[in-house]
Amino acid sequence: MSIEWSLESAKRESAAVFAQAREGTAACPEPLCGILRQLIDRADPSAREGGANFIAYLLPVWTGEQAGLRPDVSRELAVGSVYMMLHYFLLDDVMDGDEIGLGPKEALAAGQLLHSLFLERYERAVPGTAELWSRYRAYTGEWAQAVSQEGRHRAEPQDAAALAAKSAPVKIGAAAVWLAAGRPERIAGAEQAAELALASLQLADDWSDWRDDLAAGEERSNAFLTLARRALEPALPEEQPLEERLVRRAAYQFGAVERLAKLARDHREELEERLEAPPGLAGFHQAVLAGVEADARKMRQTASKLAVEGGFSHFLSNRLEL
């Protein structure tokens, strides 16, 4: 796989990674083996349109290319990362009370099998290193702290590390590569580079999910809704809940999406300064940024057109899609 990013190349590599991930479930007992394969099929981005959360499982491939690691070792870590990603996906769903058609017992049992498969792949690729698992415990701690405290404090869109914390275990993919390459001193920079990309991805996800989060009473967990509220200040008191019409006003009239795009651009600038950011990671981040900027641009054009035509107030007052 070329180190230059493209959606097509990412999907090709993902297809190979997910094919190996399916094969790796063969020894698991039924009916859980079938459940695992269904989960893998759902997450496989190679057979559907659009982008995906490529960083979760391709980070070892991107970092491996930069580190000069053998492609088969990077692929082994990527397959392990698929299992890890799905393990945390199931945990998140159980905590949210939504087990995607599985009961909690099946979801947790499947998740434990996935975690065992992840450990097996990583130990095979990076044998005999206590540092790897020490770092993984730290990443898991970041994740646990983030998900257990979610909603207690308002999401801070300017705190990249906090935004990335819910995806902190993803960083094990980069740490494992540099340990396998015998360059542990590169890990800290690689972690920071991954955090920047994960932070922008979280901002983009929060922008995409704001309506669902608002309806579910989870405003405080959504960083875009924090930006929307701040765009409306001081007219909107802290104790007054957000409503859809207010979010639309913040987005179209007060530039909340522009502010979100600006934060992602800041992440991009910082990422470009980091030697530990492999081209694949930088390309993935650029794709995330391009999507947010396209939405911001579309909203500017819509707002300008409606302002000229005199329909802006009507637009903001009605339930139209952003």
Structure tokens, 212:
């669902």
Where do runs of H (alpha helix) occur along the chain? Answer: 7-23, 32-43, 55-67, 71-96, 104-125, 130-149, 160-164, 172-180, 187-215, 223-232, 244-252, 256-272, 279-309, 312-317
* CA 252/CA 307 separation, integer angstroms: 11
pLDDT digits over 180-234, tens only?
A: 999 999 999 999 999 999 999 999 999 999 999 999 999 999 999 999 999 998 8
Cβ atoms of 181 and 174 within 8 Å: the answer is: no
Residue 86 pLDDT greater than 50, yes or no: yes
Domains of the chain: residue spans and CATH = 1-125 (1.10.600.10), 134-322 (no CATH)
CB 171 within 8 A of CB 187: no
- The b/e string for 266-292 (b: 16+ C-beta within 10 A; e otherwise) is ebbeebeebebbbebbbbbbbbbbebb
**Sign of the Cα pseudo-torsion (99, 104, 108, 114, in order):** negative
Q: Give the bridge partners for 150, in sequence order.
A: 153
Per-residue pLDDT band for 322 (boundaries 50, 70, 90) equals low
- How many residues are present in the chain? 322
What is the percentage of the chain residues whose pLDDT exceeds 70? 92
Q: What does the pLDDT average to over 32-54?
A: 87
Highest-confidence segment of 47-51, 151-155, 222-226, 238-242: 222-226
On the 0-12 / 13-18 / 19+ scale of CB atoms within 10 A, 67 is buried
DSSP 243-273: -HHHHHHHHHTS-HHHHHHHHHHHHHHHHHT
| pTM attached to this predicted model | 0.93
Please compute, for residue 290, the number of CA atoms within 13 A of its CA located in the half-sphere on the CB side.
9
Task: Give pLDDT, residue 208.
Answer: 96
Question: What mean pLDDT value characterizes the chain?
Answer: 91
Bridge partner residues of 205 (DSSP): none
- Burial class of residue 88 (count of CB atoms within 10 Å of its CB; 0-12, 13-18, 19+): buried
Residue 78 gets the label, from left (phi > 0), alpha (psi -120 to 50) or beta, of alpha
Residue of 136, 135, 193, 199 whose CA lies nearest to 163: 199
Average pLDDT over residues 83-110: 88
Name the 3-class secondary structure at 106.
Answer: helix
